[in-house]
Amino acid sequence: MDVAEEQDILLEESILIDSTDKSKGRVLILTINRPDKLNALNSLVFSAIKEACDKAEKDDTVRVVIFSGATPNTPSEGKRSKPNAFVAGADILEFKGKNSEDILQTFSENCWEAIWNMNKPTIAMIDGFALGGGCELAMSCDIRIASVRSVFGQPEINLGLIPGGGGTQRLTRLVGYGKSLELILSGEFINAEEAYSFGLINQLCEPENLRSKTIELAITIGSKSIHTLKVAKSAVRMALNIPMDDAIKIEAKLFADLFDTEDKEIGVNAFLEKEKPEWKGC
Ligand code: COA
């Protein structure tokens, strides 16, 4: 096997791909797979996520994408088990000896933006540590569902750094200026209940219910018109970037444009006929 082939296999192994076809809303589950390193994002995982996002976006059968972290492997005898993790951050080993030029190359066109820029709905399914780049990865998704044993934080300050995967911006928009600064300046970890209390995560549940709860929501979302979902996501996204008066005008136009789609007619008729809509996606 040559080096390129070996690299391809490693890339494939960095992310596990699973899907569910229930209810015609196919849900893709992308699992970051480095459990021995608490799923820390190294350059291979970066590339694997970008590639997987690109494929999911182009695959018309995929309605919703869930991101998760691999569960710990069974420890070898005499060794302690690794803790559960969604993603414990960017791989700190890859920071050693790097200068600004090196890191800018890695962080431009990064995996957080690849997730953030997807038109399809995305959900982070969090069970365990979601730290630094892992918390940022969760925040790059549209919705976050976490188990009660999850732990959140932006500890980059402890490395003499700040968040570089969009954390300073997305955290501030999600939880507000004061709480964002508290987390980023202190580097302290918070538990899932606290994260839930100020809106960092959408839903909280017991670990054993996390998968079914997340898939249930994904199937509900995936059962809607794929076209309308994309329009809804882009309309809400405007709230982050565009002044309110302008955004309201654009929303009115997006709303009106939907009246020219087949799916609006299908949805309205299905309601009136008391039937389930069979969306066409246009
Ligand atoms: N980058 C690289 N390796 C990481 C990592 C990261 N962000 N987070 C965890 N790991 C590795 C550890 O080095 C360790 O590897 P080893 O078994 O080869 O020594 C393995 O994952 C298990 O982690 P460990 O620290 O032994 O688990 P723990 O239960 O004692 O502590 C944490 C868990 C999450 C508190 C601790 O791993 C930690 O602080 N990680 C870094 C978090 C961070 O600063 N993230 C932001 C990075 S920008």
In the set 51, 101, 113, 136, the catalytic residue is 136
Q: What is the pLDDT of residues 175-225, one digit of tens each?
A: 999 999 999 999 999 999 999 999 999 999 999 999 999 999 999 999 999
Centre of ligand 1 to C-alpha 42, Å, is 13
Mean of pLDDT over the chain: 94
Q: Which residue has the tokens 């869930």?
A: 66
Strands 122-126 and 143-147 come out as parallel
Pocket of ligand 1 from Cβ distances under 6 Å: 37-38, 40, 82-83, 88-93, 129, 131-133, 155-156
- Give the residue whose CA is nearest to atom 34 of ligand 1: 88
Centre of ligand 1 to C-alpha 159, Å, is 13
Exposed, middle or buried, 258 (CB in 10 Å: 0-12/13-18/19+)?
middle
At 109 the pLDDT is: 86
Exposed, middle or buried, 122 (CB in 10 Å: 0-12/13-18/19+)?
buried
The Cβ of residue 74 has, within 10 Å, a number of other Cβ atoms equal to 7
The answer to whether the beta carbons of residues 116 and 72 sit under 8 Å apart is: no
* CA 181/CA 199 separation, integer angstroms: 15
Please say if the pLDDT value at position 23 is more than 60. no
At 13 the pLDDT is: 84
At 106 the pLDDT is: 83
Please say if the pLDDT value at position 9 is more than 90. no
Centre of ligand 1 to C-alpha 65, Å, is 26
At 242 the pLDDT is: 96
Please say if the pLDDT value at position 20 is more than 90. no
Q: What is the pLDDT of residues 80-139, one digit of tens each?
A: 999 999 999 999 999 999 999 999 988 888 999 999 999 999 999 999 999 999 999 999
Q: Is 6 a catalytic residue?
A: no
At 25 the pLDDT is: 55
Centre of ligand 1 to C-alpha 191, Å, is 17
- Give the residue whose CA is nearest to atom 16 of ligand 1: 37
Exposed, middle or buried, 247 (CB in 10 Å: 0-12/13-18/19+)?
middle
Q: Which atom of ligand 1 is nearest to the CA of 93?
A: 2
Q: Which of 36, 37, 158 has most ligand 1 atoms within 8 Å of CB, for mutation? A: 37
Q: Is 156 a catalytic residue?
A: yes
Going by C-alpha positions, the residue among 103, 158, 166, 181 that lies closest to residue 136 is 166
Q: What is the pLDDT of residues 33-87, one digit of tens each?
A: 999 999 999 999 999 999 999 999 999 899 999 999 999 999 999 999 999 999 9
In the set 109, 113, 156, 182, the catalytic residue is 156
At 212 the pLDDT is: 96
Q: Which atom of ligand 1 is nearest to the CA of 189?
A: 35
